Copies of this chain bind each other. A is one copy, B any other.
Amino acid sequence: MPDRVRIIGSYLSPYVRKVLVCLHLKGVPYEIDPIVPFMGGDRFSTLSPLRRVPVLVDDGVTLADSTVICQYLEDRHPQPAVYPRDVADRARARWLEEFADTRMGDVFIWRLFNQLVIRRFVWGEETDRALVARTLAEDVPQVLGYLEAAAPAEGFLFRDLSIADIAIACFLRNAAFARFTIDAMRWPRTAALVDRTLATAPFERLRPFEDEMMRTPLARHREALAALGAPLTADTVGTATPRRGIMEV
């Protein structure tokens, strides 16, 4: 059994962040090959048939979906738990994780972060301002309204920090990279829940790496992360030039 699990995927991906937060919470040592999914070569396609990040490689197990990886980490390292113990709460937490990964992914990543960050810095393309405006006016309030009805007045969604809080906060961290923050007058519980979650130690530990990557050109990410002491792998499945793949279908 290897000392450390290997994670492939960028610190800027909300799905990678979800897995890294679970690793930190559980105290599982890891190393990271911080590629963006567009910059993966043929070895990456073999490990991740949908060309998604994160990928986890641990002791002969290769998994290429963040939800499957987090559940695997829970099964392999049960304490501290990131899924609620009560069966109904556990199911609700998984539903909120799915809502975040699907709907918040669509709204905050593919419409906002993609338009305002990825298109410009990976592809050199213009932002679709009308799409961004429509997303902010229609989709974002719908998502935050749904979360506001579920969010607690204090603490976390299911008492202790769980996969539900983590998944939701991961997307708001990316939204912040695109200069979006929740209007705390309109959605006070959600704003406070996300603030509490982002202030926990695992999120705080990842923050310097994320901030560094946001201000560093893609080609110098590895070098900049090495200078900050990130636990980088010796080799990479990344490439120097971006390519389109299944992930974007």
What residues make up the interface of A, taking CB atoms closer than 8 Å to B? 49-50, 59-61, 63-65, 67-69, 71-72, 75-76, 87-88, 90-92, 94-95, 98-99, 102-103, 106, 146, 246, 249
Contacts and interface: CB of A to CB of B under 8 A. Distances in A.
A61 B88 contact: yes
A75 B87 contact: yes
A106 B249 contact: yes
Contacts of A50: 99, 102-103
Contacts of A98: 65, 67-68
A63 B95 contact: yes
Nearest to A89: B61
Contacts of A249: 106
A139 B102 CA distance: 23
A51 to B, nearest CB: 11
Given A49-B99, A92-B61, A99-B50, A76 B87 contact: yes
B72 A91 contact: yes
A103 B246 contact: yes
A50 B98 CA distance: 10
Given A65-B98, A67-B94, 6 more contacts: A50-B99, A64-B95, A67-B67, A68-B91, A69-B91, A103-B246
A94 B70 CA distance: 11
A53 to B, nearest CB: 14
> Which among A60, A87, A95 has the highest number of chain B CB atoms within 10 Å?
A95
Given A67-B98, A246-B103, A249-B106, A91 B61 contact: yes
Contacts of A68: 91, 94-95, 98
B72 A103 contact: no
B65 A95 contact: yes
Contacts of A95: 63-65, 68
Contacts of A76: 87
A240 to B, nearest CB: 25
